[in-house]
Chain A
Amino acid sequence: MNKIKKALCITYLFSFLVILLTGCSSRYEVPNIQQDSTIVYLPKDTNGINVKILFCKNINAKTDEPVNESSVFKIKEDAKIYAVAKLENVKQNNDHGLMFHIDWIEPSGNSFFTKRIDFLPGDPTQLLTSSITVPPEKREPGNYFLRIYLFRELIAEKGFLLKASSGEVSVLKSIVSADSLAANIILCEKINSKNGRLINPGTVFTIKEKGYVHAVVNLKVVPIDQLNSSSFQNRNITVYAEWIGPDNKSFYRKKIALSLNSSSTIRSAISITPGKRLPGNYSFRFYLLNKLLAEKNFILKKEDKNLIKKNKKEFTDGIKAKIALCRKVNKKTGKLIGTANIFTINNKAKVHAIVNLKNQNTHNSRKLNFYFDWVGPDNSSFYKKRIKLALSDSSSVIKSSISIAPTKRRAGNYKVKFYLSHKMLAEQDFKLITAEKDSAKFKH
């Protein structure tokens, strides 16, 4: 018997709570669909506030009346969609002020814009307005909803359709060839600014000072004759290049205006210095009209200092230099004249050192620091010449010369040394003699 009493008590308490709390709502739970397709949650009080929702392309600034009313709109740059909520029975229900919320819901169900409008007590206003822009980079095609809340309770909702504009759809279809596009994203370390050649393309890059990853997207754009019939000729459309980090979040998004008149190449680059990037899996994404068209993944690796040293050593070991000395070089042909190791001190006379470089690492395009060091009979350096050069070819020639006028030089054993940074690549001895000695030698 006691158990029955307890169960009755609990049932009674629970029912009481439910009745108490359901009484909180001032609207009916079951919606009423009106002729204009506004879904309305009617007030329990017949004199309660009611609402009707309209969508339009514009609003008359003087009358606040909707212009070009519709429920289907096109995604367009600089276009807006206005929502106008016409309220009934405001006056009778506004003794203490009113609080409305207008909530715009995108096709995924997420709210993307909420506007709160408070009416002061006695305010007889009967219109609520709100607007959104619909540029292609912000909105996706689909069914959108607008919801109106009064004091946090949903009182009405209405949907509208947002379509991709027909021209843009055709352009998309013409441009998109996703299979080929994915292959057309090329990532590389550098782009030669003169000839546009991509240097070190790949998908694994090392984080380093002054390091970059460049993305190049080659797009085949609609042939001009096909565009003649479209309103899109000579028009720019917006594309996006987006870089995604290891946390799957975008860290850089670049907006690019793309001309539809010709084939286009889109470029975007990110710095990959140690302070900016962490090692991990990254991706580059390419969007057209807010639609993901292609993606390319890549890996950023930590810089291995031992490997750098090793690479540097391997690189310098791969460069061989040989010095030839001569009196003169033919300016036109580059032919060496009077090659020797003994030169006579004379006015206007010179010694030219010609270095032939053989390079086995042509893939490395960075500039290298070479220098000549001319050493006199006292074993001290009297002239240094620095040359910065990128060894993009397998063999190169570098020159340096000194004057051997009597006022500048004396007879003795000289040297010319050739260095790459601090590593000596080649050395050549030569002798300077005076004119008398030279003639004596001749007499013998």
Chain B
Amino acid sequence: MPSSEPQDERRPGLRLHVVTGKGGTGKTTVAGALALALASGGQRVLLCEVEGRQGIAQLFDVPPLPYEERSIAVASQGGEVYALAIDPESALLEYLAMYYRLGRAGKALDRFGVIDFATTIAPGVRDVLLTGKVYEAARRRTKAGDPVYDAIVLDAPPTGRIARFLNVNSEVAGLAKVGRIRRQADAIMTLMRSQRTAVHLVTLLEEMPVQETQDAIEELTAADLPVGSVIVNLQHRSPLDRAAQTKIAHGKLTPAAVVKGLAKVGVETTTATATGLLDEAKDHLARLELQEHQQKIVNGLGPPVIELPRLPDGIDLGGLYDLAHELQAQGLP
């Protein structure tokens, strides 16, 4: 199978974007928005998930995805996003059928519980199968010899597991020193470490996610895996300018002044309401201060930083397109 590899290297067309992040940072949302952004302008993009959560189906509001590539969204100039939910059991059966014509024996393996064993206990096999399917899609060609997809976006496991997940070589090293699994792992590593791959890390401006992002960058770098961008999600943009922030923080804006100012635009309030508004603003400033502290750490991490706003009404399909535009505007992809 590695025979077409050099050809891939000459073709800068295909890009593999791996999206990771701590749980709760919105990595699936970012992966979806990135797929839409990449598809706009007529590109064909495959969006994959590997954790059996059906997060893509929920995000795009489509029925649960099978182990089969399906068109789930369109973008400008005929661009299209396909989605695939990869599970290790199906990947293994497909793999056996493809390389060993093991139709019947594959079933036998399942009956003996081998599939379960191989995909859960056997070290690294699960990850080789999951990344192997991504690899297969990445090198698949049309009859004319062009790549089937222009880009692949992988909604990957969380930051705590990402380096180990992508670094399948070291995982299977203890297991298979020769044989097909080993060769497969080597081929996958060549793709993962190439210039065509970028691992993006989604974070919030909070202590834990930033810490995990920092740890993941160190681990990825140590494993020679290419780090792409850090994407700060759910960014809170303050409606107060610096001068206003200082004024409120120092108590220079009094409840009486607020009552008076609001009266000028026809809003009658009490001192209690004005005090409440100022308290809300002070909480807001306390949050901003924490965010700014984390922002400094994020800016110092090294990779380029991209910021995505918090959408006031949560995420729906329209919001996803907004985030896709935002990614494009800020230079990703």
Partners in one complex: no
- B interface residue numbers (CB < 8 A to A): none
- A interface residue numbers (CB < 8 A to B): none
